[in-house]
Each structure stands twice: as structure tokens, then as C-alpha cells.
């Protein structure tokens, strides 16, 4: 079973419907036990970094999420669900993130030529050989809505790069973790392929 973390914010139902359109079951949950028992876990997110971390703490979900990740099963972070993996964000000074990955989340620099938030379709330069990107062409277009982006301390975890005034990390991958700044559930057939690949990874893990 794929579980989607329900912490009262984000595009939860659209992610759930995307999996269901592909023929996979997905449940919304804030139960620590359900999270730990899942074959795969999705952390979506829309909103402010600080508000999301506050909700995760209030529902006692931070530790179950980190424990799930340390267990080695497939994990997918989407948009703010990517940013929350890091240690902190310029958006919410003093608020600690999950700290699963080293680094911070930064705001796009002021540039009169570019609108912030970065909203709309953009290309992703995908790191070769990613199982979750199987069948997806390098340079494919995905849908973005964000004003902040991660700066990992370890560049080796960067799995996708995108240009928007600057080059930024639009996806990360480390062991069982994959997280993307773009919204696969809003990215047409290419985004659905990514979700399908993730679902198959979860299914295989569930057979073990």
C-alpha cells in the first residue's frame, strides 16, 4: 500500500487520484503505524515551510516519516515535501526541517526579468540511470509552482536540474529517497509515468 501523509496541507487528493488513475491504491493517513507499515510513502506539500513543519509536529508525524525513510522503503517527496527534507528554509527562519538531507532551502534571487513564484512548465535535466525516471526523456517538461528551492550540501544527491534565471536542484535522490520540486501529478503523461514508476517500486518492495 502507498500512503500519502495527511498533515492538513497540500495537494493530497490530486496525488491520490493520480495514483488511482494508474490503477494503484493510495490512502491518506496521519497514523504513525500506517506510515511505518506502508510499502511506499509520499510527502506532498503546498504552503509555507514553517506551517507545514508545525503541522507535522502537532500530528506527531516527523519521527514516523524519518523512521520510514531509515527503513529503506521507497519515499517520494513532492514540492514542499522536497524542501521539508532539508535542515531549514529562508522562508521560515529558526524553523528546523526534517534534516534527512544536509542543506538549506533558498529563495530565488530578485531579478526583474523573472516572476517569482516560478510557475508553469519547465524542463528538467535528469540524472541518468534513475529507476524512478525509467522511460522519461532527459529534458522533459514538468509543472512547477514555487518561490524557494533546495541547496544540498552534497551535490551528489542532485538528481535533476532546471534553469530559471539560475540553475537549481529540481530533484534529489539518495538511496530510497526521491523528491522533486515539480508536481508530477500536474505534469501530464510524463508526470504520471514518474508516479507509475514509483508505484511499481513500492509494489516490488511489498513482495519482499
pLDDT single digits (tens) 164-190? 999 999 999 999 999 999 999 999 999
52 is catalytic: no
Q: Per the omega criterion (within 30 degrees of 0), is the bond before 117 cis?
A: yes
Q: Which domains does the chain have, with CATH numbers?
A: 2-206 (3.40.50.880)
pLDDT band at 152 (very low <50, low <70, confident <90, very high): very high
Active-site annotation holder among 52, 118, 183, 196: 183
pTM score: 0.96
Instruction: Give, to the nearest 10 degrees, the angle between helix 12-21 and helix 188-206.
Output: 80
Alpha-carbon distance 124 to 104, whole Å? 21
C-alpha cell at 37: 507499515
- Among candidate residues 52, 118, 146, 185, the one labeled active-site is 185
Q: With cut-offs at 50, 70 and 90, classify the pLDDT of residue 203.
A: confident
Do the beta carbons of residue 89 and residue 83 sit within 8 Å? Answer: yes
Written as one string, the DSSP assignment of 165-191 is SEEEEEEEEETTEEEESSBGGGSHHHH
Please count the other Cβ atoms lying within 10 Å of the Cβ belonging to residue 112. Answer: 5
**206 pLDDT exceeds 70?**
no
Distances from the Cα of 205 to the Cαs of 9, 32, 39, 105, 160, in angstroms? 28, 19, 6, 31, 24
What is the spatial distance between Cα 89 and Cα 78, in angstroms, rounded to a whole number?
A: 16
Active site residue 185: yes
CA distance 75 to 96: 20
d(CA 53, CA 81): 10
Q: Are the C-beta atoms of residues 106 and 148 closer than 8 Å to each other?
A: yes
Alpha-carbon distance values, 183 to 15, 55, 61 (Å) = 9, 21, 22
79 is catalytic: yes
Whether residue 208 is predicted with pLDDT greater than 80 in this model: the reply is no
User: pLDDT by residue (tens digit) across 38-97?
Assistant: 999 999 988 899 999 999 999 999 999 999 999 999 999 999 999 999 999 999 999 999
CB 159 within 8 A of CB 172: yes
Q: What is the rounded average pLDDT of the residues 5-34?
A: 92
- Alpha-carbon separation of residue 118 from 21, 152, 166, 182 (angstroms): 28, 19, 12, 10
Q: Which of 79, 146, 180, 196 is catalytic?
A: 79
Amino acid at each position: 500500500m502507498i500512503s500519502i501523509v495527511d498533515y492538513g496541507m497540500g495537494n493530497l487528493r490530486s496525488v491520490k487520484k493520480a495514483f488511482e488513475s494508474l490503477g494503484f491504491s493510495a490512502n491518506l493517513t496521519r497514523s504513525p503505524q500506517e506510515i511505518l507499515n506502508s510499502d511506499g510513502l509520499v510527502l506532498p506539500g503546498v504552503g509555507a515551510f514553517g506551517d507545514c513543519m508545525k503541522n507535522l509536529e502537532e500530528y506527531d508525524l516527523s519521527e514516523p516519516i524519518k523512521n520510514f525513510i531509515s527503513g529503506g522503503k521507497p519515499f517520494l517527496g513532492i514540492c514542499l515535501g522536497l524542501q521539508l527534507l532539508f535542515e531549514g528554509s529562508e522562508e521560515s527562519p529558526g524553523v528546523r526541517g526534517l534534516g534527512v538531507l544536509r542543506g538549506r532551502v533558498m529563495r530565488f534571487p530578485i531579478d526583474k526579468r523573472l516572476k517569482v513564484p516560478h510557475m508553469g512548465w519547465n524542463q528538467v535535466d535528469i540524472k541518468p540511470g534513475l529507476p524512478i525516471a525509467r522511460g522519461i526523456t532527459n529534458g522533459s517538461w514538468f509543472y512547477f509552482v514555487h518561490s524557494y528551492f533546495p541547496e544540498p550540501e552534497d551535490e551528489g544527491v542532485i538528481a535533476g536540474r532546471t534553469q530559471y534565471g539560475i540553475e537549481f536542484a529540481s530533484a534529489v535522490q539518495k538511496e530510497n529517497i526521491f523528491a522533486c520540486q515539480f508536481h508530477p501529478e500536474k505534469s501530464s503523461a510524463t508526470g504520471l509515468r514518474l508516479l507509475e514508476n514509483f508505484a511499481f517500486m513500492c509494489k516490488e518492495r511489498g513482495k519482499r
